Amino acid sequence: MAGALDATFFAFRKRERSGVLLMATLAYIGIAAIMGVAFWFLNKQGIGDYFNWAMSLSQNAALQKPGVPPSVEMMMPPASVMGLAPSYLIFTFLYYLLFAAYEAACLRWMVRGESGGLLGLSLGADTWRVYAGYWLWFFLLIAGYIGVILVALVIGAVGGVAGGESAAGATVLLVILGVVAALAGWLYAAVRFAPAAATSIARRRFAFFDAWKVSKDRFWALFGGFVLLILAYVVATIIAGVVVGGLIGANMFTQFGTAEAGTVSPDQVFAQLLAPQTLVPILVLYAGLIVVAMFVMLGFFGVNARAAQAALEEGKISAA
């Protein structure tokens, strides 16, 4: 437990310079916001058409006669919506490159005590090492997904051939146990490779698979640190959800509590949701939730950075 707590709060230790992680975080949030606004401005026609098309699908589904499939024309989105795909792919590439620069900046400061670039963010070698690791995670995720499906299919096929219909219940149980075992194996591997980006930063070269050496004998410290951070975010989300629900419910009751059933229109409800006394507290709460999310993200970086730094100190890995 002590190791998990040490790893969880490693990012927030007092260091020789203060504000490095804060500046990098503010730069990340600011650039991400500018990118989001730019994406909306360049694609606002397609985004608007998408929501109109989605609403029309919902309305037509309610009016559709049972047993009559919707027409092909109805299901096809407008051309402007189809045109969103290239823009979204470009936006996704740029966003994950920005996130890689942010993670590299945080890890570089926590592991090596170095900073540089625009408020800590740069497109240097560290950023590209972290970004390359994202692609490996992407393929590992796909491999894990395929592996879980194959385990379920193989167990189901073997059980069906060996036991027939009489052993259907036992086969289902074996499939469930097999899937749980496969997910547990994938979770174990994910935790062991979690410090991959921090390992590349520590070694000053791409060293994704060296994370297995870094996490040796540290599985429970890493896992415990991640669980504590996730629990903190879940608790904050639940509290925010309860408070938001209470605010909305109280405002709606104050406005419409005495109204007769069926006399309140959706437009009235929507207008009340956008009223300042409802909207402002909700925005403040969710802004606070974003702050909590950033602290949790820094905590994740810190857990991995502590493992990489300890591996350097113990001689498990060395800087290039």
Hey, is 121 helix, strand or coil?
A: strand
Cα three-residue angle 116-119-121, rounded to 5 degrees: 65
pLDDT exceeding 90 applies to what percent of the chain? Answer: 22
Amino acid 221: pLDDT: 87
Confidence label for 268 from pLDDT (cuts 50, 70 and 90): low
- Predicted local confidence at residue 7, as pLDDT: 67
Q: Please state, as a whole number, how many other Cβ atoms lie within 10 Å of the Cβ of residue 258.
A: 7
Give me the helix-helix angle, 196-203 and 276-314, nearest 10°. 50
Identify the pLDDT of residue 304. Answer: 92
What 3-state DSSP class applies to 320? coil
CB 308, CB 191: distance < 8 Å = no
Rounded to whole angstroms, the maximal C-alpha distance in the chain is 74
**8 A C-beta contact, residue 43 and residue 259:** no
Average confidence score pLDDT of the chain = 79
Which carries the bigger pLDDT value, residue 151 or residue 204? 204
> How many CB atoms within 10 Å of residue 264?
14
Q: Output the six-digit token pair for 282.
A: 């909700």
**179/147 Cα distance (integer angstroms):** 9
* Distance (Å, whole) CA 226 – CA 234: 12
Name the more confident of 48 and 60: 48
Per-residue DSSP letter, 259: S
State both tokens at 213: 């050496």
Rounded Cα–Cα distance for residues 28 and 117 (Å): 12
